[in-house]
Structure 1
Amino acid sequence: MNAFDLIVAGSGAAGMMAAIVAARQGKQVLLLEKLSKPGAKLKATGGGRCNLTNTLDNASFMGRFGRDGRFMTPALEAFDHKALIAFFGEIGVETHAPDGYRVFPVTHSAETILSALEKELHRLGVEVRCNQKVVSVEHNGEHVTGVKTETDTFNAPHVVLATGGLGYPQLGAEGDGYALSQQAGHTVTELYPAMMPLKTKETWVEHCRADTIPKVTIKVDLKKAKKLRATGDLIFTKTGIRGPAVLDFARDVTPLLERYGEVPLLINMTKGMSEDELLKHFKAYQNDHPDAVTIDLVMTLLPEALSLQLCALAHADPQAKFNKLDGKVRDALLKRLAWTPLTVTGHDGFKMAMITRGGVSLKEIRPETMESKLLAGLYFCGELMNLDGPCGGYNLQWSFASGHLAGHLGHLPVPR
């Protein structure tokens, strides 16, 4: 009764995909979930809209994951964004890319994705057991033999760990998979919260919460991290900053924050304009609008609340004409507009993190199959591994692709 061909621990995107792929090959599959229902984190993905993937080619896609991105090559060759879209089409989910880049179900509801995956699991006869937390991977020193949960023992020659990371603990994330991986002899790198809002030392940000600032560029103002930068939309909060650009950048900032205590940032919110370009823009506007004062000029680029704060930071009278300001004040304002300084001092930890940076060492996993190099029959997929990407469907595509590869149980799929 408790013997299977494959046991999958974790019912997120990666785990459900692994179970489906194995079951389609005629395997007897058991999917274990410690919560009362499958797919809790998947249901919350993208604010519930479920940004499944994006339309980038594989090379560009992997490049957004950094130097370890090439690890994904076999998984993406077998199951790229086109294959994922086709898969969901097969199980009744229509998708689209309204901006030509990010791919969503046409319903813009993660519930649509979860429901379709559950129906496919049921159709294939995958046994899904909830309220079953895996506490150990059983093996004979060379090969997997099954798993133990808090209440049962299940036998199988193949086990897929798809337990996710530490992000969103309210949705069940406890890092179980890291402990299970270490029990099996694997190395787990340092773990950091990623893809989350950041807190700043500067308090003026709380006065600028009404507007989203588009197309900003953020960079770290540290000699050893000069190359780190991100672009995208920015939103000010009561205690700091958030928005797509910040969520992407948080994965680089959190390790620096632990090392240095605080991280100075420079942010361009004027669509890349330099001090000289800003000066030319202001002079041209002043020529066309001779009665315009400083705040009028700044507001051609930024919302009023933010414009007032930046004037205050430069000690510039917003109601004075720009050419009447003291030269040092004008220079200070232009400098603040070209690169606004902010200092990151903290974050809310894993409780606000969408993903985890770090995980099971990629050096100990075969990229061609997702199988452990240390213990035969043990496979990894999804966020559990030391590989994370930015916002925009990257992490979900990787979860599905790695789950698809792991579900083949060492039998290499035919690349699409």
Structure 2
Amino acid sequence: MQSIPETSFDVIIVGAGAAGLIAAITAARRGKKVLLLEKLSKIASKLKATGGGRCNLTNTLGNEDFMARFGREGRFMTPALHIFDHKALITFFAEIGVESHAPDGYRVFPISHSSMSIITALEEEIIRLNITLITSARVEKLEYEENNIVGVSTALQTYYSPNVIISTGGLGYPQLGAEGDGFTIASDAGHTITELYPAMMPLRTQETWGANCRADTIPKVEIRINLSKAKHIHAHGDLIFTQNGIRGPVVLDIAREITPLIEKYGSVPLLINMTKGLNEEQLRHHIKKEIDKKPEQSILTHMMTLLPETLCRALCTLANADPDKGFNKLDGSIRDRLIKLLAWTPLTVIGHDGFNMAMITRGGISLKEIRPETMESKICKGLYFCGEVMNLDGPCGGYNLQWSFSSGYLAGHLNTTP
């Protein structure tokens, strides 16, 4: 049994993930008496799994470029990033004993490349600051009088405080505790919850030929959505074919745009460039150079200077091209079709595995009802939000974790806007 010394605190934080942990530490460092409630038996379960356990903390982009990657809502982050950007985050962890680096000059990891070094350091700081941590404590409702927070209730106890920070995350990875508790709590307090969609996840395709191309990771791929109102949406990164679809960083990035479209249209057509950005004219020139060097070789051999063999054979099949023939011996219409497929390969997304495989949630508490300068609710005084529970999500590459830390740091200041 966990002993409960008392029930009154300066601030109560609901959820001990990345955002909640840094909010608790920030508030305690400012002299506040802090209670941190976590419904699971351990803290930071999702943080432990971040980046495959390597924990991509943040990235080295400047604040303007960083916010742009979140789309039109990104400007909401301005105050939080102003006081706690990637440089401040790196310094914060260095101060509690975790050095980090950016081996590719962009993504920042702890030098250990282990999320456990991050979690251990945060746990030790919680102990050092005498923060009261109670695990296996699910908050069931907010307690408030008129429009003022007075505390929270679990199944066993009511805890009192004029300040409550909700940092419960979204719906992604329910096996790690994500059940949307924060959405229910916020909704009960009068907040609007936008449509919720799974994001940052593998996708299933109508086409089955990709199942034969699973052995290789295709680098520097561009994916575009081939819908009239979404042609501007695209993503870049590595692509991996699966038994029934596609995954990899480029898919994780664009999935957040695709899942709402699947619900609307049922399927989403994509165009995929797997030839490092070469267009049709450049591809013809490339193959001509290969033919000039080795005129006796097959089109398959020439294509393999661009792509793995399994993928080359799949594209030849789609174009009805004999892979063992020379390029110039193919019918003209077949040559044209093959070049078009090399430049932009069509795929059709027809589904996904829902929140069970989603790393993050698209949607959440409406940003219109939250003050970006403080993270405080505009509806209920003393109620704050941070992290994924809000309607703000970004691509993979440290964006969402940095936002969790930045918003948690700002919320932990407990500043109130009149």
Alignment of 1:114-263 (within 5 A): 114-263=119-268
In structure 2, the partner of 1:307 is 312
In structure 1, the partner of 2:283 is 278
Pairwise CA distance, 1:77: 0.2
**Whole-angstrom distance in 2 between the partners of 1:89 and 1:141:** 43
Q: Is the 8 A contact 2:270 2:346 kept in 1?
A: yes
**Whole-angstrom distance in 2 between the partners of 1:141 and 1:263:** 46
SS at match of 1:238: coil
1:387 matches 2:392: yes
Pairwise CA distance, 1:151: 1.3
Counting matched residue pairs gives 412
Match of 1:96 among 86, 92, 101: 101
In structure 1, the partner of 2:3 is none
Q: Could you tell me the TM-score, scaled by structure 1's length?
A: 0.98
Q: Is the 8 A contact 2:376 2:416 kept in 1?
A: no
**Whole-angstrom distance in 1 between the partners of 2:137 and 2:359:** 24
**Whole-angstrom distance in 2 between the partners of 1:356 and 1:267:** 25
**Whole-angstrom distance in 1 between the partners of 2:115 and 2:320:** 48
SS at match of 1:182: helix
What letter corresponds to residue 374 of structure 2 in structure 1? T
**Whole-angstrom distance in 2 between the partners of 1:226 and 1:95:** 38
Q: Is the 8 A contact 2:193 2:366 kept in 1?
A: yes
What letter corresponds to residue 386 of structure 2 in structure 1? C
Pairwise CA distance, 1:142: 1.6
Match of 1:364 among 337, 362, 369: 369
In structure 2, the partner of 1:24 is 29
What letter corresponds to residue 312 of structure 2 in structure 1? S
- TM-superposition CA deviations, 1:125-168 (whole Å, max 9, x none): 00000000001011002210000012111000000000000000
Match of 1:405 among 403, 410, 418: 410
**Whole-angstrom distance in 2 between the partners of 1:359 and 1:306:** 39
In structure 2, the partner of 1:42 is 47
**Whole-angstrom distance in 2 between the partners of 1:221 and 1:402:** 35
Pairwise CA distance, 1:411: 6.3
In structure 1, the partner of 2:118 is 113
What letter corresponds to residue 70 of structure 1 in structure 2? R
1:332 matches 2:334: no
Pairwise CA distance, 1:58: 0.2
SS at match of 2:71: coil
Alignment of 1:288-303 (within 5 A): 288-303=293-308
**Whole-angstrom distance in 1 between the partners of 2:358 and 2:400:** 13
1:80 matches 2:85: yes
In structure 1, the partner of 2:349 is 344
SS at match of 1:213: strand
Which consecutive unaligned segments of at least 5 residues does structure 1 have?
none
In structure 2, the partner of 1:67 is 72
Which consecutive unaligned segments of at least 5 residues does structure 2 have?
1-5
Q: Could you tell me the TM-score, scaled by structure 2's length?
A: 0.98
Structure 1 residue runs of 4+, over 6 Å off? none
Pairwise CA distance, 1:300: 0.6
Query: Percent identity among equivalent residues?
Result: 66
**Whole-angstrom distance in 2 between the partners of 1:157 and 1:307:** 63
**Whole-angstrom distance in 1 between the partners of 2:406 and 2:226:** 36
> Larger deviation: 286-295 or 350-359?
286-295
SS at match of 1:67: helix
